[in-house]
A = this chain, B = another copy of it.
């Protein structure tokens, strides 16, 4: 089982069904979700979702973990997330996105998870500040950590060495702000470290993140964010 699809068309056509695309998008939040939650996200019945999940797992796009009577699904690899990012990029290039600025929406714009790293104005402000202080060089789409950056990240408590073959530093075009934020292994490490420090916290049933008071202080002080980063660009 899980015998990986092996042609481009097979993979693309799996993503090409609206229900399955919704499932994968939901999982871009980075958390593992149950089949039921995914059914809700996909907007189809539980039976139908079950079929989709089986196909996606079979093809190696999703990984599944049994836990009691629940089955938790997550994206199988960061490569899959990369495909989704690239697709979002292209999809976003279309006609004007509608911008229904609800209150819940506003929280998403401020700070949210994107697969396994931080996005929204927070993510962008962090990326900008790292560049401004010469800790990171981003030539949009890609990037590298400077010597000074290595020292900085080390002091901040993230380990740049471990993590294997995954790209250390990538950028990801922000859905709401249309500017790049930090992805890749480094983006993921910054996120988990921020969670550990209690600077941000997940808001239940949502991809939004809450920035805690110590977080507000910490981000501003450690990363040197400009005072106006909370404002929309």
Task: Jot down 28 A-B pairs with beta carbons below 8 A, ordered by A.
Answer: A4-B95, A8-B15, A8-B24, A9-B15, A9-B17, A9-B18, A9-B22, A11-B16, A11-B87, A11-B90, A12-B13, A12-B21, A13-B13, A13-B15, A77-B93, A79-B86, A79-B89, A79-B93, A82-B86, A83-B86, A83-B87, A83-B89, A86-B86, A139-B167, A139-B168, A142-B143, A142-B170, A142-B171
* Residues of the B chain whose Cβ atoms lie less than 8 Å from the Cβ of A171: 142
How far is B169's CA from A143's CA once the two chains are assembled, in angstroms? Answer: 8
Total copies of the chain: 2
Contact present for B141 and A144 (CB under 8 Å): no
Question: A7 to B18, Cβ gap below 8 A?
Answer: yes
A73 to B25, CA, bound (A): 31
> Is A14 in the interface zone, CB < 8 Å from B?
yes
CA distance A8 to B87 in the complex (A): 6
The complex places the Cα of A142 from the Cα of B7 at a distance, in Å, of: 25
A170, B141: Cβ atoms closer than 8 Å = yes
Q: Is the CB of A145 closer than 8 A to any CB of chain B? A: yes
Using CB atoms, name the residue of chain B closest to A20.
Answer: B9
Of chain B, the residue at the smallest CB distance from A82 is B86
Taking the complex as formed, is A63 at the interface, i.e. its CB lies under 8 A from any CB of chain B? Answer: no
With contacts A91-B5, A142-B169 taken as known, whether A16 is within 8 angstroms of B14 at the C-beta atoms is yes
With A93-B79, A140-B165 as contacts: A21 and B4 at CB distance below 8 Å: no
CB distance from A124 to the nearest CB of B (A): 16
Interface mask (A114-158 → B, CB under 8 Å = 1, otherwise 0): 000000000000000000000001111111110000000000000
